Structure 1
């Protein structure tokens, strides 16, 4: 019994536990076994395990007749044995028992060991004790499995509630700051337009535009994350020129760069990689926007594409103040914000970077962050190189 119990405990899920129990019943009792799993108060599709001696070829049909299933349903509803060898529905072909925990029935097992005349032979006292012990072990194993799943659901619900609280807290902060700035600058323009010099008016208008653009980007990222959570990504994976995708992202972000220099470096010409171009542009725009917000004016931001074996590594390097080591471990988590507390450092980093990670992982890649030398930060991700371009490069390298 100890070995049988260990095998039940080692089964990877509830279905595997029931299958293992069927095998053990068949081996120990030398009988046909039918098992009905119970889901949401109804009998599921039966498992049938016939005796290994090859006899009683018609037993499979007998085990699943409608009148036999009716007996199994009675056992499920009443949580009591029935069928052959009992006082309840004794004319059944099988002897049925419930596999039950404290509150519910997990499954119904039926056993049949026909004699030469076709009648099912009744178990003796020792066999009944064996059935009782093994069914108890099976019930304990299933109850433990369900308890583990129930606890996991509770933890997931608690985590989801915490996430919702983080969403509200982060969004309220990220909305309040730019809206306050927009309101203040707009009020100043409205009330002092005639007294302000043109340069100051342009400065205030640019600030309003910058904050409004930030709000639009934040809402787009939140909507994208919401769609991902509800429906997942619908990827359109195609071979794309990495240079074209990078250049599209640069063109989108350039008006926000101010005096920062946006540089592109491609280690090889005509790099092809498999990607969803639209989503990859969104990743690059988020990374570039993050670099702009955390690097000084008159600094450089460099986008590199480097072939490495069967992959293309894309990097976005800035010359900002960098990211502390403790933050690097969590920077891609949802709604995580850095601990530097400088400028925009606490504004919504977690939304855009969490989205970047989700997109890259959906395309089969990985994303990471490291220090730039001597100063700054490098965000990087990898894409799968297109097979035709990789084959062409290899053949060119082999030519004398």
Structure 2
């Protein structure tokens, strides 16, 4: 089928070249134009057929066509007259070279396209490998954070309950209440950790992206702050949001969890009773969230690994019994899955956490 198609293309172009050459001949009476017309036909035939075969055939037919139709004696094939052999041999050689060059260029283009396609596949494979590597790193960090952060509250709960059971007859009522209060605090903290872990399961298995839909920014921020204040009724948070109504593409439940984690982190680990500043601003094609405290800051040597789930406390002056690790590790997983970025840094009077969400779904 392919051979037949290429035969039809070759014959059609040669017939067209003959008709065009005939028109040129009667217009200019120059044989040079005839040769050029047939060589152009050879170029087109080499371009639109595969291999060298049809190009070579068109070279011979072109030479014969010029001799038969446009060289005296007309309607006869005669290469015996003086000068004719050299002229036709030259035309044949030029046609051969033109055909070979065109075919070679076409082959080089095909090879270049194959290389580009192969490079594209290699690039896609590399990106998939990088994504899988990042996912494995996130899982490893999460498991490490879970094992690290579970140990402290569980050990405390076991110790308090053992002491209560072993010495309940000798302990004073206020001491018993203190032990029960510690167990309750640790149990509440573990419940919050479970909420974090459940939030991560909302990120679809086998994919590092999340299902996003446009959500009112003001409602998401308000809900996150309200949920935090239910846990810590005495928390002072100064919230600032844009005056414009913004719809931000996100998984609202996950982003609320990030807000709660960062605000809770500031409350528990800043070492300060001053209000927490929570500011949201729009910057070009992103929304920027900033949680700033006025406390002890973060040890500089811990900043690079802060979101890997291995940081146990902020600074040397912290006496917190529970670490920041798992909450911040989960924050990074959620924000990364949204296509945003998250970072922590110190300022002159404490620490601040900043994360961004893209506005790629914003209506123009």
TM-score, with structure 2 as normaliser: 0.55
The alignment yields a C-alpha RMSD, in angstroms, of: 5.1
3-state SS of the aligned residue for 2:236?
strand
Task: Quote the Cα distance in structure 2 between the aligned partners of 1:262 and 1:148.
Answer: 49
Residue in 1 aligned with 2:276?
A: 301
Residue in 1 aligned with 2:293?
A: 318
> Unaligned stretches of 5+ in structure 1?
1-31, 34-47, 57-108, 392-400
Out of 196, 208, 215, the position equivalent to 1:238 is: 215
Residue in 2 aligned with 1:94?
A: none
The reply on whether 1:287 has 2:262 as its aligned counterpart is: yes
Residue in 2 aligned with 1:177?
A: 152
Choose between structure 1 and 2 for higher RCO, CA contacts under 8 A separated by at least 6 residues.
2
3-state SS of the aligned residue for 1:337?
coil
Q: Which aligned pairs between 1:213-362 and structure 2 lie closer than 5 A?
A: 213-230=188-205, 232-240=209-217, 242=218, 244-257=219-232, 261-266=235-240, 272-275=245-248, 276=250, 277-296=252-271, 298-305=273-280, 313-325=288-300, 327-332=302-307, 334-335=308-309, 337=311, 340=315, 343=320, 344-345=322-323, 347-358=325-336, 361-362=338-339
* Higher helix proportion (structure 1 or 2): 2
Q: Which aligned pairs between 1:95-244 and structure 2 lie closer than 5 A?
A: 111=51, 114=54, 163-230=138-205, 232-240=209-217, 242=218, 244=219
3-state SS of the aligned residue for 2:216?
strand
8 Å CA contact 2:196, 2:327 repeated in 1: no
Q: 1:195 to 1:297 in 2, by over 3 A?
A: farther
Task: Quote the Cα distance in structure 1 between the aligned partners of 2:264 and 2:116.
Answer: 52
Tell me by how many angstroms 1:253 deviates.
1.9
Superposed CA deviations along residues 266-322 of structure 1, whole A, max 9, x for unmatched, are 377x55322354333222111112112312263432323456688764432222321
Task: Quote the Cα distance in structure 1 between the aligned partners of 2:299 and 2:202.
Answer: 31
3-state SS of the aligned residue for 2:256?
helix
Residue in 1 aligned with 2:92?
A: none
Superposed CA deviations along residues 184-224 of structure 1, whole A, max 9, x for unmatched, are 22222333344333433333333223322332332333333
Residue in 2 aligned with 1:77?
A: none
Range that drifts further, 218-227 or 154-163: 154-163
Task: Quote the Cα distance in structure 2 between the aligned partners of 1:210 and 1:49.
Answer: 83
> Unaligned stretches of 5+ in structure 2?
14-48, 62-95
Task: Quote the Cα distance in structure 2 between the aligned partners of 1:337 and 1:372.
Answer: 19
Q: 1:370 to 1:147 in 2, by over 3 A?
A: closer
* Higher strand proportion (structure 1 or 2): 1
Tell me by how many angstroms 1:233 deviates.
1.8
Superposed CA deviations along residues 212-260 of structure 1, whole A, max 9, x for unmatched, are 23323323333333432525322231334x2x5444323322354486x
Determine which structure has more spread, i.e. the larger CA radius of gyration: 2
Superposed CA deviations along residues 58-116 of structure 1, whole A, max 9, x for unmatched, are xxxxxxxxxxxxxxxxxxxxxxxxxxxxxxxxxxxxxxxxxxxxxxxxxxx96585589
Q: 1:199 to 1:381 in 2, by over 3 A?
A: farther
Q: 1:141 to 1:206 in 2, by over 3 A?
A: same
Task: Quote the Cα distance in structure 2 between the aligned partners of 1:190 and 1:271.
Answer: 58
8 Å CA contact 2:262, 2:328 repeated in 1: no
Q: 1:209 to 1:255 in 2, by over 3 A?
A: farther
